[in-house]
């Protein structure tokens, strides 16, 4: 299920997007939301009420529901072109939001940002795929560093590394499953169906992104490895063999684990 309804900078938690869609299921609210967007300026409750043909009190109720869902923002100000004496009225305008709902979650925006960064930052003579892997790894490292700065986890051993990764990757749509304390399987591929179209490239980007995350968060004793299986993401997090840290998937052809092959069946990824 897809719709064009999530904050443009990043996809929101599913509950936020679902709330927005639920709010817009009401005909009156949907009309008010459309009226506010078409106005290209802040509108008052009275204006929204007149357009929808409802009372000002009912309009205020619906407008505030749209604000709570993140679709509108409100403030106290006079509408453009008007001069009022006394208390300024509450006005409403569209929030800077681009709400999307996808079940299971897909993140083509993240993949697009990685590829744009790769094109803009490609070094002379550098292979395009290696530039994409480098960009993906950098994006993952940034996410890991931001996660570490926010959560302040201290020293991370293998089990705590997996616990932290599980929470973050859940927010990014990977649907993590933890069959063992130091193992994380990812049941959803946020880059599908693009991964089915070009598995070597997209799975390599995914691998580099997750390996970069482990590096940025300073995870210890955990590797991101390519382990393609039908119906799942092609990457797993596992205890590192021989005490190694997270590998650098931006090195080598496609960033692949030795012996691993990205899925070739377009219908194999979730």
DSSP string, 83-136: --SSSPPEEEEE-S----EESS---HHHHHHHHHHHHHHPPTT--HHHHHHHHH
pLDDT above 90: percentage of residues in the chain: 59
Q: How many folded domains does the chain comprise? A: 2
Angle at 73 between CA 24 and CA 46, to 5 degrees: 80
The residue from 80, 102, 124 where one domain ends is 102
196 band by pLDDT with thresholds 50, 70 and 90: confident
249 and 150 inside one domain = yes
- For residues 84 and 10, membership in a common domain is answered with yes
User: Do residue 136 and residue 185 come from a single domain?
Assistant: yes
Q: Render pLDDT for 238-267 as a digit per residue (tens, 0 to 9).
A: 998 765 444 444 443 333 333 344 444 444
In this structure, the answer to whether residues 79 and 195 fall within a common structural domain is: no
The reply to whether 238 and 120 lie within a common domain is: yes
Residue 270 lies in a domain: no
97 and 127 both lie in a single domain: no
Q: What is the spatial distance between Cα 270 and Cα 268, in angstroms, rounded to a whole number?
A: 7
In a domain, 57, yes or no: yes
Last residue of a domain, one of 102, 120, 151: 102
pLDDT interval class at 89 (50, 70, 90): confident
Position 84 confidence tier, pLDDT thresholds 50, 70, 90 = low
Q: What is the pLDDT of residue 152?
A: 94
186: Cβ contacts below 8 Å, ≥ 6 apart? 169, 174, 175, 176, 177, 232, 233, 235, 236, 237
Q: Decide which of 70, 102, 134 is a domain's last residue.
A: 102
């Amino acid at each position: 299920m897809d719709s064009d309804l999530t904050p443009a900078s990043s996809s929101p938690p599913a509950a936020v997007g679902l709330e927005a869609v639920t709010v817009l299921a009401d005909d009156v609210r949907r009309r008010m939301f459309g009226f506010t967007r078409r106005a290209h300026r802040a509108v008052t409750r009275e204006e929204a009420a007149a357009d929808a043909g409802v009372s000002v009190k009912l309009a205020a109720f619906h407008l505030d529901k749209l604000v709570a869902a993140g679709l509108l923002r409100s403030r106290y100000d006079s509408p453009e072109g008007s001069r009022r004496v006394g208390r300024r009225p509450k006005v409403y305008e569209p929030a800077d939001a681009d709400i999307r709902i996808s079940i299971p979650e897909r993140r083509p925006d993240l993949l697009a940002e990685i590829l744009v960064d790769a094109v803009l930052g490609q070094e002379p003579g550098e292979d395009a795929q290696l530039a994409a892997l480098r960009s993906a790894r950098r994006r993952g490292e940034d996410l890991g560093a931001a996660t570490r700065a926010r959560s302040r986890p201290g020293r991370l051993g293998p089990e705590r590394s997996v616990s932290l990764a599980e929470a973050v990757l859940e927010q990014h749509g990977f649907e993590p499953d933890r069959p063992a304390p130091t193992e994380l399987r990812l049941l959803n591929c946020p880059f599908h169906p693009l991964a089915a179209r070009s598995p070597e490239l997209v799975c390599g980007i995914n691998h580099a992104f997750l390996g970069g995350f482990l590096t940025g968060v300073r995870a210890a004793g955990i590797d991101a490895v390519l382990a393609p299986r039908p119906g799942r993401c092609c990457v797993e997090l596992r205890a590192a063999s021989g005490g190694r840290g997270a590998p650098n998937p931006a090195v080598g052809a496609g960033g692949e684990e030795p012996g691993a092959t990205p899925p070739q069946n377009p219908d194999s990824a979730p």
